[in-house]
Amino acid sequence: MVSTELIRTTVGIIGNIISFGLFASPIPTFIKICKDKSVGEFKADPYVATVVNCMLWTFYGMPFVHPDSLLVITINGTGFVMESIYVSIFFIYSPWPKRKKIIIAILAELVFMAVVIFCTLHFYSDTKHRSMIVGSICIIFNIIMYAAPLTVMHSVIKTKSVKYMPFFLSLANFCNGIIWLIYSLLKFDINILIPNALGSVSGLVQLILYATYYKTTVWEDEPKSSEIELESART
């Protein structure tokens, strides 16, 4: 009989693959930025936010915080590197006012992480309490990051158009949430379960909206004032 641990590892590997695809999804955006040598109207906010999110989940997965979470470390460590590259490119091709905001945000994130790491390791000696504290912070950050998809979904309902809510990205978000939800249930982990349950619901709602407003969408290219970016929270 196949062990639960083997199934969990397999599910985690699948989750890593899907999450990697989500982390890689902005690559065309940054190719465009490099070609244009300008960030245009793109915003660094989602990428800067994802950097700290990945740092938190990587710390959460450490053996001295939450044992047996190697696959959480691998994908979020990878995500941290990729998002850091995105932020670096954004910084290079941004005017000084935007660069200043990025510097302040990154410094604030580093100070925040230093405080979280120090307090967790200094005041708590067992993994149970460390997991609870760091996991709770991760959940809060994930919930905050769902503001971006909510903004896009509101826009879809308002305009009755799914033109700027890519189907495959929405599908990937849904699958990512489901896979990590299963992962969290195989060896119960409430801190991974909660954000991915929310992510699954968010992805499902996006797919329902896509099916609802697909026929009313005008697909011809038209000038737009800003780029709508669908950035999801990933475990």
Sequence-distant contacts of 142-147: CB under 8 A, at least 24 apart? 142/53, 142/194, 142/195, 142/198, 142/199, 142/233, 142/235, 143/195, 143/198, 143/233, 144/49, 145/46, 145/49, 145/50, 145/53, 145/231, 145/232, 145/233, 146/198, 146/199, 146/202, 146/232, 146/233
Determine the Cα–Cα distance for residues 109 and 226; give it in Å rounded to an integer.
27
**Secondary structure (H, E, C), 80-126:** HHHHHHHHHHHHHCCCHHHHHHHHHHHHHHHHHHHHHHHHHHHHCCC
Give the pLDDT of residue 93.
Answer: 95
Global pTM exceeds 0.85: yes
- Choose between 182 and 46: higher pLDDT: 182
Least confident window among 97-106, 119-128, 223-232 = 223-232
Give the pLDDT of residue 235.
Answer: 66
Half-sphere exposure of 121 (CA within 13 A, CB side): 11
Please state, for a pLDDT cut of 70, what percent of the chain lies above it: 93
Cβ atoms within 10 Å of 34's Cβ, excluding its own = 12
Q: What is the pLDDT of residues 188-230, one digit of tens each?
A: 999 999 999 999 999 999 999 999 988 888 876 544 434 444 4
Determine the Cα–Cα distance for residues 80 and 55; give it in Å rounded to an integer.
6
Mean pLDDT of 13-20: 96
- CA max distance for the chain: 60
Give the pLDDT of residue 229.
Answer: 47
Give the pLDDT of residue 227.
Answer: 43
Kindly report the average pLDDT of the chain as a whole number.
89
Give the pLDDT of residue 234.
Answer: 57
163 backbone dihedrals φ, ψ, rounded to 5° = -55, -40
Q: What is the pLDDT of residues 148-185, one digit of tens each?
A: 778 788 888 988 888 877 888 889 889 999 999 999 99
Q: Any residues with CB less than 8 A from the CB of 177 and at least 6 apart, and which? A: 196, 197, 198, 199, 200, 201, 202, 203
Q: Any residues with CB less than 8 A from the CB of 211 and at least 6 apart, and which? A: none
Determine the Cα–Cα distance for residues 211 and 204; give it in Å rounded to an integer.
11
Give the pLDDT of residue 151.
Answer: 79
Give the pLDDT of residue 225.
Answer: 39
Q: Any residues with CB less than 8 A from the CB of 234 and at least 6 apart, and which? A: 19, 22, 23, 50, 53, 75, 76, 79, 176, 199
